[in-house]
Structure 1
Amino acid sequence: MSMFCYQCQEANKGKGCSVKGVCGKSEEVAKLQDLLIYTLKGISEIVVKGDLDAKELGEVNHEVLRSLFMTITNANFDDDAFVQEIRKMLTLRNNLRDMVDAANKKDSPNFFQKLLGLKKEQTGKKVSVSDLHDAARFQVSSKAEMLKKAASTGVGVLATANEDVRSLRELITYGVKGLAAYAEHALNLGKEDVTLYAFIYEALAATLDDQLSADELVALTLKTGQSGVTVMALLDEANTSKYGNPEITEVNIGVRNNPAILISGHDLADLEQLLEQTKGTGVDVYTHSEMLPAHYYPAFKKYDNFVGNYGNAWWKQLEEFESFNGPILFTTNCIVPPRSEEVKARIFTTGSSGYPGCKHIKADINGKKDFSKIIELAKRLKAPTGIETGKIVGGFAHEQVFALADKVVDAVKSGAIKKFFVMAGCDGRMKSRGYYSEFAEKLPKDTVILTAGCAKYKYNKLDLGDIGGIPRLLDAGQCNDSYSLALIALKLKEVFGLEDINDLPIAYNISWYEQKAVIVLLALLHLGVKNIHLGPTLPAFLSPNVAKILIETFGIAGIGTADDDIALFMGA
């Protein structure tokens, strides 16, 4: 087996990719990602066993977030970027380890304490280097050495005698990856919560501990969900405090006859910088896929060159990027390897994203990015070719729905609205995902869909109508905005005076693809939500026993046919 990866929904044959990722990542990239995660686990063990205070680790915390984000599905395909990141993280790991080791031998601050800005009393407790896991001690320098070491560190070879333990370790790790993605977005807007860093170290270190039982790992899995709620609340605060609360907005899906830039991914801070730099240049900016909800924020409406959304969900980019004609900026994950050199030459990446042969734009020490090369290229290229016309409506995040609360409650009490369906999550390439379009179309006319994430592209252009002026599709935003759906459910629970969130007329039919969906799922479980249907397939990384726990404890279920599932939901 040259590689093994089963972290996303499209794992080959529902089991795992063992030659090349369905996502397009190579064997080398897969192995380097494994080694980077292994290194982060070593760092985490040093922090935990050395009793280091996360709030004093500064840049180490931020680099850990970046490293985790780089390994999310479809985020970074650049093997050289991973080699550089592994070297950087090994240096930080060794500095931390040597600092803890030196603290055992003398009382005065050493070089590494000074390097990390730590005081003597913050160097932690005594821990012998020899007691640390190999992840905290191994040494490599060349790419060849990294690949050789990675062959013994990936999930495909780190099998324990207990498959359930391995399954839970991976579930926790993937949840932490999603948590890190959301935390990095918040950090880019100046918001952070040190408890999240402390939890990341605790969780990753625990995945190295062979003494932990499956029951203890189940408890840690639920704690991961608790941190998921914390990070989503943090990101919501970061977005709304900076850009205002999303509001009901019509978004144009046609094109203008100007040169243009297409921005994809999720990072609103990158979008803001791009809009600032394109003001008055004659270059339009369009969103793609998960960047669509940026149009809902009041702060972005002042830019008259921020003109609409182009295309659909991430997986359709191969055709849509060709017809767009202009440059594309990826701010995060959702890259599909381009088919042509012409398109690749128009792709730029930034942040944790990357693709070999594409120009990567780094931030300076103040977080500023120079997008002038993208703007210059846009001016030399043709305007986008239109692929559709019309408008779509969104902006139904928590504050906007709260403003409609009386109207919504009256509709429920009168029977005009029988049930809400949370259809959040991810879209993907598998034909079986057509289920979600069919499900939305066939839902009774007295039901309302609450959505967030790119799953919306399966039904956000359908004519679903409204109920007494309330649209039957309420789009809260990105997958990052799933917190809005939780807040809406909790608000309805309060309004109706219910003790249990599961007594609400809300059903959950969620599609998943990558690791941010994992942290959202765990967050919902922490909030007590039960009977979530998850599709189009259950995760390959769940062992039969772990899947059984989720089914028996939380009522997790897969999907069937649209007709059968609607009958089940409506009869409940």
Structure 2
Amino acid sequence: MLCYQCEQTDRTGTVPGCAGPLGNCGKDAETSDLQDLLLYAVKGIAQYATRARAMGAADDEAAEFVLYSVFTTLTNVNFNPTRFVGLLHEAAAVRDRVRERYEDRVRARAAQPVEPEPLPGPAAWIPAQDLEGLVEQASSARVDAGLAEAGADVVGLRALHLYALKGICAYAYHAHVLGHGSGEVFAGVEEALAYLADEPDDTEELLARAVGLGRLNLKVMELLDAANTGTYGAQQPTTVRATQVAGKAILVSGHDLRDLAALLEQTEDMGINVYTHGELLPAHAYPLLKEYPHLVGNYGGAWQDQQREFAAFPGPVLMTSNCIIEPHVSYRRRIFTAGPVGWPGVRHLTGRDFSPVIRAAKALPGFAEDGPEEFLTVGFGRDAVLARADRVTDAVKQGAIRHFFLVGGCDGPTPGRDYYADFALGAPEDTVILTLGCAKYRFNRHDFGEIGGLPRLMDVGQCNDAFSAIKIATALADAFDCDINELPLTLALSWTEQKAVAVLLSLLALGIRNIHLGPTVPAFLTPTAVGVLVERFGLRTVGDPGADRAAALERAAS
């Protein structure tokens, strides 16, 4: 295996990357290889799908399969090789169906009988029949394929495309399960995968198209925002209990609001309390989810602490979408997966039938007593913030608010992430901190106080809510009649996995400069590629939090 898609990448060798038998995320070499092969297979689907769509023979079911398949390959989503064997054979069948649609359309349009020529590369791939054969095939589909011919810069930029597409597909899948699909998004994903299937080697074109993927992701995040708010209502500032309540209990982690809603519906009036964990904290701000009184609070923090937190939780755990890590033996028999998530030996639920989780909750002890009352405030999405826009702009004009710091992104287990807590906690009292993503768990229990009745800490949500943060920034720029880069705003972003890559490209597509990124730069990008991003977009690597804050305030003052 070779995997360097996330911030957990092993950097101790001559060439960065996790190389068998086990990656730092817990993914084994066999699973990693099968994931690479699945990405190769969906490129083959895309080769035919782009042509079929251009001829009016689009297959949106195939596009939905691509979204799901790519999502399963993200960091900390699916570690089950058996599931990938099934997906690989399904991918070949989907590809053949799309090919037939395309070829039928070509024949129908031809003035004379014609037999379309088959496409090369991934489009011609035929899956091996067994696991051993598939793993052998994967050797030619590794992420660094073509390194000797194209060079490290090109291969790294191809990886940038691929990993951004992973994030885009994840966001689009979340929107899709809430009934919000888009032919434009399907077409954009298919076109990008087909482009990679042709093994591009022009670095300038690769960079330009990477920014184009950022624009595609903006459309996807807007679609997801419409799906979330259209289904469950616009987020509202909400106080969320962060300690336990006596009674039977179920813990839900990941990002999937629909899975959470289905579980809440199925447990209504059963006397079972439901808690969110990790990335699902913002669920408490949606009006239609808040209506369930047994959604009692949030338990625990960011994803990397789940082994300790899940072991201490006295009920079953439902893991949706991501981010799972190896379940400890202490809770392995009471954790369940759904959607794209998987772990060998862990029971996987389909069809949103959560009766096994409910039975487990009834059998397990739950919490014997209430915990001390501690609360978090969430729900400062764009509607909530923009409803206070006049107060915000007045506070800036009057000098009460000097600067905004958006401190957001993924948390993780690697060193250097205390930077973000230090950056936020050390912010001057005349500044406001907006937070987005699970990095906030390092400082969101701190009392930051208020400025003129406005909270100094505003929780905008998770990475799935990035569109809200963008709309807030653009609305403030409109209010001050300036460019986003002229706002008193600094972005300090942490990253772990591929959704963060997609969001970063969206910010670059918007022309946002001077983003502080860390705790490390992506291992798949060469120093040359990083240098280009620094030169063209003002991208900055994080350093000392105090010095970075001071420099940001100095830039804003000038």
Question: Match of 1:325?
Answer: 314
Question: Match of 1:432?
Answer: 416
Q: Does structure 1 conserve the Cα–Cα contact (< 8 Å) formed by 2:49 and 2:59?
A: no
Post-superposition shift, 1:97? 2.8
2:171 alignment partner AA: Y
Shifted more, 46-55 versus 225-234: the winner is 46-55
1:18 alignment partner AA: A
Distance 2:541 2:124 in 1: 39
Post-superposition shift, 1:52? 4.6
- The structure 1 residue matched to 2:36, chosen from 30, 34, 37, is 34
Distance 1:381 1:370 in 2: 19
Distance 2:539 2:195 in 1: 25
Question: Match of 2:331?
Answer: 343
Post-superposition shift, 1:158? 3.7
Distance 1:322 1:387 in 2: 17
Matched, 1:403 2:387: yes
- The structure 2 residue matched to 1:154, chosen from 142, 152, 176, is 142
Matched, 1:480 2:464: yes
Q: Does structure 1 conserve the Cα–Cα contact (< 8 Å) formed by 2:159 and 2:524?
A: yes
- Aligned-pair identity in percent equals 43
- The structure 2 residue matched to 1:82, chosen from 73, 81, 84, is 84
SS at 2:540 equivalent: coil
Question: Match of 2:272?
Answer: 283
- The structure 2 residue matched to 1:56, chosen from 55, 58, 64, is 58
Post-superposition shift, 1:150? 0.5
Distance 1:479 1:50 in 2: 33
Distance 1:527 1:43, change over 3 A: same
Question: Match of 2:487?
Answer: 504
Q: Does structure 2 conserve the Cα–Cα contact (< 8 Å) formed by 1:270 and 1:331?
A: yes
Question: Match of 2:348?
Answer: 360
Distance 1:344 1:388 in 2: 28
Distance 1:338 1:133 in 2: 38
Post-superposition shift, 1:51? 5.5
Distance 1:282 1:53, change over 3 A: farther
Structure 2 alignment gaps of length 5 or more: none
Post-superposition shift, 1:134? 4.2
Distance 1:53 1:80, change over 3 A: farther
Post-superposition shift, 1:212? 4.8
1:562 alignment partner AA: P
Distance 1:380 1:541 in 2: 47
SS at 2:549 equivalent: helix
Shifted more, 188-197 versus 39-48: the winner is 39-48
Q: Does structure 2 conserve the Cα–Cα contact (< 8 Å) formed by 1:10 and 1:22?
A: yes
Q: Does structure 2 conserve the Cα–Cα contact (< 8 Å) formed by 1:167 and 1:543?
A: yes
Post-superposition shift, 1:49? 4.6
**Mapping of 1:51-450 within 5 angstroms?**
52=54, 56-101=58-103, 106-107=107-108, 127-129=116-118, 131-159=119-147, 160-210=149-199, 212-340=201-329, 342-363=330-351, 369-384=352-367, 389-450=373-434
Distance 1:511 1:252 in 2: 26
SS at 1:221 equivalent: helix
SS at 2:269 equivalent: coil
SS at 2:357 equivalent: helix
SS at 2:466 equivalent: helix
Matched, 1:551 2:552: no
- The structure 2 residue matched to 1:560, chosen from 543, 549, 553, is 543
Q: Does structure 2 conserve the Cα–Cα contact (< 8 Å) formed by 1:43 and 1:136?
A: no
Q: Does structure 2 conserve the Cα–Cα contact (< 8 Å) formed by 1:39 and 1:136?
A: no
What is the CA deviation profile of residues 287-326 of structure 1, one whole-angstrom value per residue up to 9, with x for unaligned ones? 0000000000111111111000000001101110011121
Distance 2:487 2:195 in 1: 36
Task: Using structure 2 for the length normalisation, give the TM-score.
Answer: 0.95
Distance 2:325 2:338 in 1: 15
Task: Using structure 1 for the length normalisation, give the TM-score.
Answer: 0.92
Structure 1 alignment gaps of length 5 or more: 108-119, 364-368
Post-superposition shift, 1:421? 0.7
Matched, 1:18 2:25: no
Post-superposition shift, 1:211? 5.1
Shifted more, 451-460 versus 13-22: the winner is 13-22
Question: Match of 1:468?
Answer: 452
Post-superposition shift, 1:127? 4.8
What is the CA deviation profile of residues 364-412 of structure 1, one whole-angstrom value per residue up to 9, with x for unaligned ones? xxxxx21111001101101147787400111100010011111111111
Q: Does structure 1 conserve the Cα–Cα contact (< 8 Å) formed by 2:60 and 2:183?
A: no
What is the CA deviation profile of residues 537-563 of structure 1, one whole-angstrom value per residue up to 9, with x for unaligned ones? 011111122111110110111100112
Distance 1:54 1:335, change over 3 A: farther
SS at 1:451 equivalent: strand
